[in-house]
Amino acid sequence: MGRGRIGLYQQNLAAHICGMAVLDIALMGHTILSQLAGPVEDPTDPAIRALVADMMDTMAAAGGVGLAAPQVNRSLRLVVFEVPASRTADGVGLPLTALANPVIEPLDEATDDAYEACLSIPGLTGVVPRWRHIGYRGLGLDGKPVEREAKGFHARVVQHECDHLLGALYPMRMRNLSTLAFTEQLRRLAQEQEESR
């Protein structure tokens, strides 16, 4: 029985009853988040499949759109992510994807700035530049190669998650740390502006 399931018993009985396994998320400051993750030797290993299922449960319970294995205390090149249709310009999302040993290459020099957040840095958000248009590849849980092109939010999520495998958190990619903010404070400011209109 993994650490996550023990944590689950203590913290998340409702999720347990539903058959979910919500793992503990490492927070910024944990050394595993600044390490280079190691390769997944066999993506079809049932232990990897079980880990991915737990990562998906953990991500859903935390309300995230992506999660990397080091965030649940496994130093492996393994990520899960999804692209909600509401976050794309064309309204076409991407279903939940698991990818082992992902590799990214920029297909264009252009970058975009946008706010990001991370489940390992709760409550904060900041403006991060990311490649606008990338190609990425890796292995699916069936062991078959996955190769895709991504733009916009999709490209951003993949870059954010793959950064976790390099030991990089989004503040390390920020150009202007003065945009680092508490989400709650930005919400209050937006509310005040709304009310003063």
Scanning 47-55, 85-93, 112-120, 172-180 for contacts with Ni ion by CB under 5 A, the matching segment is 112-120
Q: Where are the alpha helices (DSSP H) in 3-140?
A: 3-11, 13-17, 46-62
- Partner residues linked to 133 by β-bridges: 151
> In the complex, what is the shortest distance from the CB of residue 127 to Ni ion, in angstroms, rounded to a whole number?
15
Burial 163-174 (b: 16+ CB within 10 A, else e): bbbebebbeebb
Q: Which one, 83 or 118, has the nearer CB to Ni ion?
A: 118
> In the complex, what is the shortest distance from the CB of residue 118 to Ni ion, in angstroms, rounded to a whole number?
3
Q: Which one, 104 or 118, has the nearer CB to Ni ion?
A: 118
> In the complex, what is the shortest distance from the CB of residue 165 to Ni ion, in angstroms, rounded to a whole number?
11
By the rule CB under 5 A, 100 interacts with Ni ion:
no
> In the complex, what is the shortest distance from the CB of residue 7 to Ni ion, in angstroms, rounded to a whole number?
19
Q: Which residues contact 38 (CB under 8 A, 6 or more apart)?
A: 75, 76, 77
* Amino acid at site 21: A
Rounded Cα distance, 129 and 161, in Å: 14
Rounded Cα distance, 113 and 105, in Å: 18
DSSP category for residue 114? E
Q: Which one, 100 or 118, has the nearer CB to Ni ion?
A: 118
Residue from 98, 118, 127, 141 touching Ni ion (CB under 5 A): that is: 118
Q: Which one, 44 or 166, has the nearer CB to Ni ion?
A: 166
Residue from 41, 105, 116, 161 carrying the catalytic annotation = 161
Establish whether 161 is a catalytic residue.
yes
User: Among all residues, which ones are annotated catalytic?
Assistant: 161
